[in-house]
A and B are shown apart, each in its own frame.
Chain A
Amino acid sequence: MSRELVLGIYVLILAAFVGFEVISRVPAVLHTPLMSATNAIHGIVMLGAMLVAGSADTPLLRAIGILAVALGAANVFGGFVVTDRMLEMFRKKEAPPAATDGKKPGEHR
C-alpha cells in the first residue's frame, strides 16, 4: 500500500466521524435545506473533473472532462443557490400574533 492510499483511508474515516458529529443535532425544520446543502458540497467532485478536463490528451478524455465539469458545475452552483433560496425564508424573524395564541380557559383542559 502506498503512503498516499493509507493517508486517504485515514482522512476518509476521520471525515466520516466529523460528518456524524457536526450534523447530529439538526432540527427537523432544517432537514430539507441540509440535504440540499450537503448535496451541493459533494459537488466538490467537480474539482476532479477540472483536473481531468485540463490535462486531457485524447479527444475522448477531453469529452469526458468537459461533460464531467459541466455536470459538476451544475451540482455545485445549482446546489448552493437552491439552498440559499430555501434558507432565505428563515431570515425574517416574525413576531407571533399576540393575543389569541394562549390556551382558552374553561372547556378544554
Chain B
Amino acid sequence: MTGDPRFTIISLSYVAAALLFVFGLRRLSSPRTARSGNRLAAIGMLIALVATLLDRSILSYWEIGIGTVIGAAIGVYSARRVQMTAMPQMVALFNGAGGATAALVSIAEFLRATGHGESVGVGPAISGALGIAIGAISFTGSLVAFGKLQEILPGRPLLFPGRHAVNALLALGAIALGGWIALHDGAPGAVWALFGVALLLGILVVLPIGGGDMPVMISVLNSLTGVAAALTGIVLANQVLVVAGMLVGASGTLLTLLMSHAMNRPISNVMFGGFGAVSSSAAPGSAVVRPVRQTSAEDAAVAMAFANRVILIPGYGLAVAEAQRQVKELSSELERRGVDVKYAIHPVAGRMPGHMNVLLAEADIPYDQLLDMEQVNPEFDHTDIALVVGANDVVNPAARSDRGSPIYGMPILDADHAKNVIVLKRSMNPGFAGIDNELFYAPNTQMLFGDAKKSLTQLTDALKGV
C-alpha cells in the first residue's frame, strides 16, 4: 500500500462496503431479515460512494453534485410513487439506467485514455469493450421490456423474418469492433460504433420475446448489468465495482435459472423462442366465438357458501384491478362460514416470481394460506371450487396436453381438477401470452365477467346475504 492516508481510507471503506453487500444479500434470503438486509446493502453503498469523493483523481465536484441530485430525485420520486403492480417495469427501468451507466463509464475511460495518449492495455480494453456492449444491450433491452410491460409496446412477440441472421450479424460486428478496440488501444470511432451496435442489438433481442417471458428476461438483463459493472471495475482497476457487480451477476443468473425452471422453459427458448408466436399467428383464424357458461355473482356466492373447500387462484388481473383487499374480504367471509380457503400461488403469478406474494402480503393475507404449486396441486382433487381471479396462462390445461401449444410443458395449477371452476375475468380476450384457454370452455367452468375488484365486491355482498 502507498502511504497516502486517503487511499487507505478509500480502500478500507470499499472492503467494508463489499462485506455489507454480502451480509445484506444473505439477510435478504429470509422474510424476517430481508428488510434489514436491504438496508445493510444501502449503508454499504453509501459508504462506498462517500469514500469515492476522497479520490485524488476527482478535481471538481459540481458535476457529481448536479448528476447525483437529478438522478436521486428522479429515482426516489418514482420509487415512492410507483404502484406495487408496476414493480416489474420499475425494476426494468432502474436496471436500464445501471446498464447505461456502465457503458458510459467504459466509453469515457477509453476517451480519456486516448485523449491523454495513455495506453489502456489489451486486457482492460477487452474488458471495457465487453462492458460497453453488455451495458448498452442491458440499457435498450430494459427499455423495451419496460415498454412491453407498460403496454406501450405490444406484449406479443414481434418477429421479423431473418431476425436470427440479423442478430448474429450484429453480434459478429460487435465482436469485431471489440477486437479492433483491443488491438488499437481504444480507437474512439470504434468505441462509439460498438456502443451503437450494442444499443440496436438490445432492442432486437428483447422485441421478439413475449410478455409472458418478460420476468425471466428482466432477470437476465439484471445479471447482465451486474456483469457490465464488474467489467467496468476491471477497466478502472476498482475492486469494489468488480465484487458488487459480480455478486449481482452471479445471483441474478441463479435467479434466472430458478425462474425459467419454474416455467419449464429452457433459458435458450426464452431468449430465442419468440414465446407465444405460434398462437399469435393462429389467432386471426381462431377468432370464432365459442360458447362459455356465464354465471352471476349471486349464483357463484351460493355455490361457494356451501362448499367445503375453496382454492383462490390470483393472477395478474387481480393485481391490475388492485383487488387484493377485496379478495381478502371475500376469503374472510368464506372462512366465517367455515369454508376452508387457500390461495394457490403459481411461481410466476403476477409478472415476476414472488410478485403475487408481495401483493397479497400488502392486503394482510396470512402466509400460511398461500400454497405454492407443488403443495396445492394434489389438493385440487378434493376441492369444490377453484376461484380463478384474473389468472389465465397458469391454469391453461393446454400446457399439460397440447403439444402444439407454446406453453406446452410449463407447470400449471391443476384448477381443472376441482369439481367446479369459477373464473373472474374482464372479457374473453386471451392472456398476456396471447394463448386461448381450454379451461374456460370446460363443462364444469363458469365465467363471471367484469372487473375483478367489482366482481369480488359483488361476490362478498352476495355471500353476506346467503
Contact = CB atoms under 8 A, between A and B. Distances in A.
A94 B332 CA distance: 14
A27 B31 contact: yes
B244 A41 contact: yes
Interface size range of chain A in the complex: 35 or more
Contacts, number: 416
Nearest to A63: B63
Contacts of B246: 11-12, 15-16, 19
Nearest to B61: A54
Contacts of A43: 45, 94, 98, 101
Interface string A19-53: 11011111111111111111111111111111111
Interface stretch (B177-185, B203-211, B234-242): B234-242
Interface string B21-32: 110111011111
Interface residues of B, number: 131
A86 B230 CA distance: 27
B9 to A, nearest CB: 15
Interface string A47-68: 1111111111110111011111
B51 to A, nearest CB: 9
Interface in B41-73: 41-42, 45, 48-49, 52-53, 55, 57-61, 63-64, 66-72
Contact of A82 (B60, B82, B259): B82
Contacts of B350: 32
Interface string B355-382: 1011001101011111010000000001
B121 to A, nearest CB: 6
Given A70-B68, A101-B335, 11 more contacts: A5-B234, A42-B225, A42-B226, A42-B244, A44-B17, A47-B238, A56-B60, A67-B104, A70-B74, A71-B98, A72-B101
Interface of B: 17, 21-22, 24-26, 28-32, 34-35, 37-39, 41-42, 45, 48-49, 52-53, 55, 57-61, 63-64, 66-72, 74-76, 78-80, 82, 84, 87-88, 90-91, 94-95, 97-98, 100-102, 104-105, 107-109, 111-112, 115, 121, 123-124, 127, 218-219, 222-223, 225-226, 228-230, 232-234, 236-255, 258-259, 262, 308-309, 332, 335-336, 338-341, 347, 350, 352-355, 357-358, 361-362, 364, 366-370, 372, 382
11 contacts: A2-B123, A15-B244, A22-B25, A30-B30, A39-B98, A47-B238, A68-B100, A75-B101, A77-B76, A87-B38, A89-B361
